Amino acid sequence: MLAEMEAAKLEAAAPLCGQRRWRQQLGRMYTSRQLMDECKTFFFTGHETTWLLLTWTFMLLASNPTWQHRARQEALLFLHQHGDMPDFDMLSRLKVLGMILLESLRLYTPATLLAREAFSSIKVGDLEIPKGLSVWVPVLAIHHDKTIWGEDADEFKPERFSEGVAKACKNQMAFMPFSFGPRNCVGQNFAMMEAKIVLCMLLSQFTFHLSPSYRHAPICILTLQPKHGVPIILRHFRP
């Protein structure tokens, strides 16, 4: 009975978690602790990191009217074709919004550090990593590394993701806003879906402009936050 319940839950979660991850998890039983941990991840992803992603994205769009216009045109066409109730597959076709969100995640990665623990002693190049050692990955620094992303690494250029993450830089593993590999963030697809829906709704109704009072001061307090907020002036969009 418990196995059937778990399979049913995973079946229902397939659109959110992604088909590959869903198939991996379907044959594996979760403990109560693991289920609670995954739920906590979803709650965390659905709140702080997602609102930070949207906050920085609004700032970038308000600062780059050309990309804001392109995103709005895509959102208007999308809503005209699919209405107000898009599903995951429909949202995945929003290429311009996807590029903008990926570039926002690169420039202003909400989770700036990743922690991992070595379960066994290993050697990486000349570096010895003993069992039990905690390894912290400086994600934000990697996302701004000019040897990986080029001399324009600090610039807002969504077009670098026009052919996906794999061709955006010299090493696709250098892009890890949701971590990388089989232990990446379980809420990754949910967060991107949520962000696209919010952007579609707001872009179709408003134009965004940075307030003259805006002071650019990113600060890391566990997550990367705007120290003084991001005051945005909204104006009703008139086609």
Catalytic (active-site) positions: 49, 178, 185
Domain count of the chain?
1
Instruction: Choose the weakest-confidence range: 46-50, 168-172, 197-201.
Output: 46-50
Please indicate, yes or no, if residue 72 is contained in any of the structural domains. Answer: yes
Average pLDDT, the chain: 85
Query: Which residues are documented as binding site for heme?
Result: 185
| CATH of residue 221 | 1.10.630.10
Residue 4 confidence class, pLDDT cut points 50, 70, 90? low
Please indicate, yes or no, if residue 85 is contained in any of the structural domains. Answer: yes
Three-state DSSP string of the chain: CHHHHHHHHHHHHHHHHCHHHHHHHHCCCCCHHHHHHHHHHHHHHHHHHHHHHHHHHHHHHHHCHHHHHHHHHHHHHHHHHHCCCCCHHHHCCCHHHHHHHHHHHHHCCCECEEEEECCCCEEECCEEECCCCEEEEEHHHHHCCHHHHCCCCCCCCHHHHCCCHHHCCCCHHHCCECECHHHCCCCHHHHHHHHHHHHHHHHCCEEEEECCCCCCCEEEECEEEECCCCCEEEEECCC
Residue 215 is predicted with a pLDDT of 97
Residue 235 has pLDDT above 90, yes or no: yes
Whole-model pTM: value is 0.81
Residue 150 is predicted with a pLDDT of 95
Please indicate, yes or no, if residue 209 is contained in any of the structural domains. Answer: yes
pLDDT tens per residue, range 117-166: 899 999 988 999 999 999 999 999 999 999 999 999 999 999 999 999 98
Please indicate, yes or no, if residue 122 is contained in any of the structural domains. Answer: no
pLDDT tens per residue, range 153-164: 999 999 999 999
Residue 45 confidence class, pLDDT cut points 50, 70, 90? low
Residue with the bigger pLDDT between 73 and 116: it is: 73
Query: Which residues are documented as binding site?
Result: 185
Please indicate, yes or no, if residue 176 is contained in any of the structural domains. Answer: yes
Contact yes or no for 101/195 (Cβ under 8 A): yes
Please indicate, yes or no, if residue 119 is contained in any of the structural domains. Answer: no
Please indicate, yes or no, if residue 181 is contained in any of the structural domains. Answer: yes
Identity of the residue numbered 50: T
Task: Quote the domain boundaries for residue 224.
Answer: 31-108+141-236
pLDDT tens per residue, range 209-219: 999 999 999 99
Residue 1 is predicted with a pLDDT of 42
